[in-house]
Chains A and B, each alone.
Chain A
């Protein structure tokens, strides 16, 4: 279930890197172009893919990702197309962890069991449902694991002990750690008050913490890495790059830049662990 994540985190740790996750919206702006964008993301060096399945009412997303979902839906992209696209990506990239992000109603409509089984069959490794908090997720987490998918849970600096207990118990693959508050989107300043959260997750043996929400520059990645996150995920910045004129190139370049940030903590000869924010 989590073997691709386990292998990836082990490799990143051995190399002294922070794992880099890149997010794009499936079907944006159409399946063919989206596939090229995802290839560029992998070529640019991301260690894990986070892909959105578009939903009509994405309440946890900021303007950039909302607009991406709308473009995909307006072009007629459906969950069945997403499963198909994931299978093609898996065929070409057999080892990269593929995680999906979506909303609860798409699972409810297809049936939770069938949704999870179809995703697993397409070759996905994990699923994060943005509006399914752990309070409502006990059945879902079981179904997800049964299907061979890791249910990814969200943790925040304001999560209570009871929430953290549930996150550690139900979650697998990785733990998606968000900034203090808000929705997805780019931020000027990264709120990094995550040390106590990471410590609380470690104490509970939760899946490795990956920091998301607001990671848009190599500097953010470097800061997140030095905060002790096992990985980072950049979303809105990549989605914005993807819709620029030469999207494929822009995505590849941004992924490369972000990867430099992820490597900044790797020990290099003659360089002490200096200049880390």
Chain B
């Protein structure tokens, strides 16, 4: 490898020896692509004319006040319905440059699977999506979307039959197929070079938002808030602000049914250092190192590990991470719908819930504050679940 693939002490490439040549080939292609004006121009055209970049930032009209201003980076308006599209298009272009004929991906609720199926159809590549069997049952519509775009969806029956098991199965496929297949990992986690590569391909979010906000406000935000599952939308918006010392970076993890229950996905708050799916990072695990099942109302945050760069950002003090419960997220989801006419994804509702607390805090203190939230996705996929949950609570 050319890079050491570490963020402080975290990251690395913990994969079977047989996959090392595949990661080396990918690292080489990724580094070459970043320096290749042809690749960057191709990607730029796709992002503008296919995905719909740049996405706007929206200042909330009815949340906040003259002094406390809340801005939303509207990744929910992207083709595909979430930020996932940014890096999926980039990796699919890269795979095609590497001469790969087939894309493999894991998916939880199906958003990354749908984005990969989309890119596969666009690039006319074969697509195979691994999805936990439990998720296949829960997310029938997304399975249909993927199949409609020509992808094959393979239900994974191992373990808890969810995202963690789908990642394992995708890695197994890749161990046997790397010569003609690219593993299109869905987040800024996994072995090097994925965490760096996915961050670089998602950092367009922060670059745009920083310039857009500056042109509205004439200054930078006080706080940038994003939800963290694997952590790709958060790292995507944080990256452009990393050297802006006065901008607080805040990641919101799924506190599920509470941080003191076992039913959460708060890896940074409640996990410990460990090694899973190719990276040294934080994990939800028992004392022996067996990985626990996570829980969240939002499938995108329901993962027992986290991208290694977030652990480094937490330990170095550059970013802080908070837990947001299912209940708080659901409440923020409703607030945004009623007050702003925007239905966001359950994942993004976690970031929004913390932002609402910050708005209240600033108003109570009589401070002026500018807050930027990455609204990473839209809520279409969550409608059935929302209807069920809100029906129950009434």
Contact = CB atoms under 8 A, between A and B. Distances in A.
A177 to B, nearest CB: 11
B386 interface: no
B288 A110 contact: yes
Interface residues of B, number: 38
B375 interface: no
Nearest to A156: B18
Contacts of A178: 18
Contact of A109 (B20, B277, B288): B288
A131 B288 contact: no
Given A59-B16, A70-B158, A153-B17, 16 more contacts: A56-B291, A59-B171, A105-B274, A105-B283, A108-B275, A133-B16, A133-B20, A136-B13, A154-B17, A154-B18, A160-B20, A160-B21, A181-B18, A181-B176, A182-B172, A182-B175
A178 B19 CA distance: 12
A134 interface: yes
Most chain A Cβ neighbours within 10 Å, of B17, B19, B274, B275: B17
A79 B288 contact: yes
A4 to B, nearest CB: 24
What secondary structure prevails in chain B residues at the interface with A? mixed
Nearest to B177: A181
Contacts of A183: 172, 175-176
Contact of A132 (B14, B164, B177): B14
Interface of B: 1, 12-21, 24, 158-159, 164, 168, 171-172, 175-179, 272-278, 280, 283, 285, 287-291
A3 interface: no
Nearest to B22: A158
Contacts of A60: 16, 172, 175
B101 to A, nearest CB: 16
Interface residues of A, number: 42
Ranked 7 nearest A-B pairs via Cβ = A109-B289, A182-B176, A154-B17, A56-B290, A104-B275, A105-B289, A133-B17
Given A57-B164, A70-B159, A183-B172, A109 B287 contact: yes
6 contacts: A55-B290, A57-B291, A60-B16, A104-B275, A108-B274, A181-B18
